[in-house]
Structure 1
């Protein structure tokens, strides 16, 4: 059909972005595009799954950005329900199997994009695979969880207190269940420093979510063939449904078996153009999304961060390069936002332990402020923590916990981190002000001013 063939393994954010961008730049007579996706859905927003489960989003179709037929009409051969089982880099083929029929085949490639994503961490503990224990990584996972919920279900236990865990705790609360979150960390949201995580803990307890920290799960109790309780070293927590919120790991088994380079997290390593293992028989192989490591622009280290924002950018870069343009992905500063009920959480850059591990000496500043002018109706408090390098005052990280527009304020800090600004420079930023939106001194500016003072005192 075409002079060259692009094979994409994985049909969600990174994979379909890469395929779509390549198609925009190269016609069907120049580039054949085949996408292999083991699931039944493609091009959907996995980040919206908690809100689908809670009922805020009306049905799975609302999360689908582009249907399979729409992709096919644009000249992309999207094959759903087909799994990639092996890579032969010498012959440049992918071994595939139709999951419905069991039929095996091979498809050759000139370009290969690995967009295999990530899989939920499911510890090898007794009962973890029992009916009623749910991961929530894919749209199919969400549908299975929704189908499992029944009117007689009263109790949910969420294992893990990270982003997925707290979002799913909210979803279960919205469904009318009594919720317990069990986490082995000192505080929930371990992507925050413990002092900020304590605010999340306190707020969740105020929402009638029972938060049990510093507790190790040892297994799932199974009664009558289904999960009935979460077992920990400190006790038993009855459950009609168990949701796993332990995070994810890169899905790189194919890449590992083929001998492609992996980083410390198990994620694929790429260059700035998202190419994998350039040279040594790996020419024309690309990777993006949750299966890769990315460069942390603050610490200078490589990390695994599973976010749809990065995945879409990776795919765009890959597709542009395959299409004959030149594009790069320089790295990230680690920005993320989340919520549990009306509590908003934002973070970017390094935590204290990250800064110490990277070799920085630093100062911290924490301030209480409000999201609007204090006299304006509805003004509510938020806490901002800022971390800055000693002597230089370079911004290293920011964390925000509060309500009333707290989370998206983290974007100001993300821009400042990307451009290596000092906290003193941040104090002069011309941020928008009107009483319904901010105090005269925005909380970010108040924190920067206090951090700059700490830096000056430390010199």
Structure 2
């Protein structure tokens, strides 16, 4: 086989691209380099593994190396691409054994994902402090939480796991108090996970409400749910330092009454991620928001025959029409598949993104899409108008009906829906898909109000909460 398609990164975007390419272009070579040993794993499932809802780490794997091999993909684990020469069309690779090799490419996909941002906190060398952005970290946290004589090593049942790291953490005394730095997706999900493992949990967030991108109504209800389940939520409480010499001993944070220190014996830092783009240093590749690699509608970068997809790449925002960087699972899988098809000869757009996301906090569900914050909407050129309503999730007389808060944001001049969020305990999150579809279709609020959504008492009242919110927002627009 000739004309190699080289892929850097063997997770969501990379293997989706390689698999699609192999099916569409069986006569061309496809080589996938992965610097580590883990491939094709469910990052979003790691909190549920730590909590114990997922019994085995292997349950989080989508593809095994042998299954990748059966697809005719040349997968090379333990091979880190450290540089790209776009003129020679080669990549420089360093192996786990210390060897250096060079690989030519006809087309190249950079699907290197992202890594946890630690801000000013250095968790390295401080036992009991972690970030959560890979499977080895998840295995180590799981082992650290367990009592040494009760840890089930079979839970980390994948050969790729860093067994020395797991064994070392499993031998340490089990923690009693855990602190989570950052009230985003990871923070909220890990608060539930650690609470489920019996820890006294404290969640710290520097701004006034959790899940900042979801809006205030969502953040407040999620915080109330966490508090009701025993999690102590600290908002407007920026963490200043992880305290400890060899093992974490405390969290120093700014409280309402001045600096405080909370004794803890576990800390998880979840303050965001950064795109992995260092292999393109010196190539002149264009970058965009967050330092991610700038791509066009087909995933092409500014370098010839070089594509990027997943958490390291930008995409076009469905509402603003401008580039955006929103590292999410579907975005990576969809973009990788599209790039694979394009490289094989079937030009396929990677698709717009709207930041559609959902999160669970015990019995509370929350979701968001589009532009939910007024500042972001104004920066994009809109004049935002918003309304938040509370409506029943089912017919009031049907068991299980629960209050659902829906916030819709529209542009004052055009009436176009530009964003929304939902929170509630009864199938609230899945309703966000209606709003995501409406955003993709550039629908106005009156058009959303006229949607023919399904009604049956077990599933929705006659007026679905989304329709109620659209009706109220439409009235507000009429008054302005």
The counterpart of 1:215, out of the listed 234, 237, 242, is 237
Match of 1:37 in 2: 34
Match of 1:441 in 2: 463
Q: Where does 1:187-266 land on structure 2 (aligned, <5 Å)?
A: 187-223=209-245, 225-233=246-254, 234-266=259-291
Distance apart, 1:435 and its partner CA: 0.6
TM-score by length of 2: 0.91
The counterpart of 1:140, out of the listed 129, 136, 140, is 136
| Cα distance in 1 between the residues matched to 2:119 and 2:355 | 26
**Contact kept in structure 2, 1:345 and 1:406, CA below 8 Å:** yes
Match of 2:336 in 1: 315
The reply on whether 1:334 has 2:355 as its aligned counterpart is yes
The alignment covers a number of residue pairs equal to 449
**Contact kept in structure 1, 2:369 and 2:421, CA below 8 Å:** yes
Distance apart, 1:82 and its partner CA: 1.9
| Cα distance in 1 between the residues matched to 2:122 and 2:241 | 5
Q: Where does 1:369-388 land on structure 2 (aligned, <5 Å)?
A: 369-388=391-410
The reply on whether 1:115 has 2:118 as its aligned counterpart is no
- Gaps of at least 5 residues in structure 2 are 148-173
What RMSD over aligned residues (CA atoms) do the two structures have, in Å?
Answer: 1.4
The reply on whether 1:149 has 2:145 as its aligned counterpart is yes
Match of 1:49 in 2: 46
Deviations 1:343-370 (A, max 9, x none): 1001011122211221211221111112
SS at match of 1:20: helix
The counterpart of 1:419, out of the listed 428, 441, 445, is 441
Match of 2:81 in 1: 84
356-365 or 154-163: bigger deviation: 356-365
438-447 or 346-355: bigger deviation: 346-355
Q: Where does 1:50-65 land on structure 2 (aligned, <5 Å)?
A: 50-65=47-62
Match of 1:389 in 2: 411
**Contact kept in structure 1, 2:144 and 2:175, CA below 8 Å:** no
| Cα distance in 1 between the residues matched to 2:434 and 2:360 | 18
| Cα distance in 1 between the residues matched to 2:319 and 2:393 | 27
Distance apart, 1:339 and its partner CA: 0.6
SS at match of 2:340: helix
TM-score by length of 1: 0.95
**Contact kept in structure 1, 2:297 and 2:316, CA below 8 Å:** no
| Cα distance in 1 between the residues matched to 2:313 and 2:438 | 25
Q: After TM superposition, where is structure 1 displaced by more than 6 Å over at least 4 residues in a row?
A: none
Distance apart, 1:13 and its partner CA: 0.3
Match of 1:357 in 2: 379
